Chains A and B, each alone.
Chain A
C-alpha cells in the first residue's frame, strides 16, 4: 500500500516538474510548480515529517509561489516562444544533465546506505515538540541569524524595488 502511494506520488512529482519547465505560459509553470510542492509534501508525510509537510505547503506554495504569481501578473508576461535556433544547445544541455543524473543514479544503485536499526529508531522526531527542542537548543544561533538574514533581504528588496528618477512605471 505504501509502495503504491510512494510510486504514485513520485510519478506525479516528476510529471509536474517536467511540465514546469516545458510549459509555454508562465502561469501554467507556476501552477505546475505548486502541484510539485504538494506532492513533495505528501512525500514528507510518508516520511513521518508532518510538521515540515505543512510548513512546505504554507511557505512555498502559499507565500513564495504567490509572490511569483504577483510578479508574473505585474510584468504582464506573454507566452514564451521556443525558437528552433538553439536546438543544438538544448541537446547538449540535455546530454550533460542526463549524464550527470545517470552517473549519480548508477553510483547510488551500487551502494547500500545504512539506516538506523530497530533499537535506535525514533519515530517521533518529525513532531513539532521534538523539532522545536532541537531547533531552539542546538540551532539557536543559526535561528537568530536567520532573522538578520530576513532583515537584510527585506531591506534589499525594498532598495532594489525603488523606482529611480525619470523611470517610467509600467
Chain B
C-alpha cells in the first residue's frame, strides 16, 4: 500500500496551486463586485474552500497529515461563521428591508 499513487507523478503540484489561486481570485471578485450580502458571503465560502484545497494538496504531496487536520478545523470555523453571519444578515434585512450592502452607509463621513 505504500506505493505512490500515479497522480503524484503525473500532475506537478504547481497545477493544484494555480487552480487554488484561480478559485481564490474568483472569490475576491465576487466579494468586490456583487451587492447582495448573501452572494458576498458565498464568495467568502468559495475563498475558504480554495484555501482548503491548497492545504490538502500540500498535505498529500508531502505526506503530512497536519494539513488535513487543519482543513478540518477550517471547515468547523466556516460553519460557525456562517451561522453567525447569516444571523447578522437577517438582522440587517429586518432593519433596511433589503440585503443590498450599498444601502449600509451610516459610517459615511
Which B residues are CB-close (under 8 A) to A17?
Answer: 23, 26-27, 46
The answer to whether A149 touches B89, judged by C-beta atoms less than 8 angstroms apart, is no
If A14-B23, A47-B57, A121-B2 touch, whether A149 touches B49 (CB-CB below 8 Å) is no
Which A residues are CB-close (under 8 A) to B38?
Answer: 26, 68, 71-72, 75, 77
Which B residues are CB-close (under 8 A) to A40?
Answer: 49, 52-53
If A17-B23, A21-B30 touch, whether A49 touches B83 (CB-CB below 8 Å) is no
Q: Does A105 contact B (CB under 8 A)?
A: yes
Which B residues are CB-close (under 8 A) to A43?
Answer: 16, 19, 53, 56
What 1/0 mask marks residues of chain B from 11 to 25 whose CB sits below 8 Å from any chain A CB?
A: 101111111011111
For the complex, count residues of A whose C-beta is within 8 A of B. Answer: 83
Which A residues are CB-close (under 8 A) to B5?
Answer: 48, 123
The answer to whether B81 touches A135, judged by C-beta atoms less than 8 angstroms apart, is no
Which A residues are CB-close (under 8 A) to B15?
Answer: 6, 10
Q: Does A161 contact B (CB under 8 A)?
A: yes
Which B residues are CB-close (under 8 A) to A3?
Answer: 10-11
What's the nearest-Cβ distance from chain A to residue B81, in Å?
7
Q: CB within 8 A of B39: which of A29, A121, A139, A149?
A: A29
Count of inter-chain pairs, beta carbons less than 8 A: 231
Q: How far is the CA of A136 from the CA of B76 in the complex (A)?
A: 16
Q: How far is the CA of A149 from the CA of B2 in the complex (A)?
A: 37
What 1/0 mask marks residues of chain A from 134 to 170 whose CB sits below 8 Å from any chain B CB?
A: 1100110010001001101110110011010001001
Q: DSSP majority for the B interface?
A: helix
Q: DSSP majority for the A interface?
A: helix
What's the nearest-Cβ distance from chain B to residue A86, in Å?
8
Name B residues whose Cβ lies closer than 8 Å to a Cβ of A.
Answer: 1-8, 10-11, 13-19, 21-30, 32-36, 38-39, 41-43, 45-46, 49, 52-53, 56-57, 59-66, 68-69, 71-73, 75-84, 86-91, 93-94, 97, 99
6 contacts between A and B (CB under 8 A): A47-B56, A49-B60, A59-B79, A115-B8, A153-B79, A157-B87
- 7 extra A-B contacts, CB within 8 A, seeds A21-B30, A123-B4, A134-B65: A21-B26, A64-B45, A75-B99, A93-B33, A100-B28, A153-B79, A154-B83
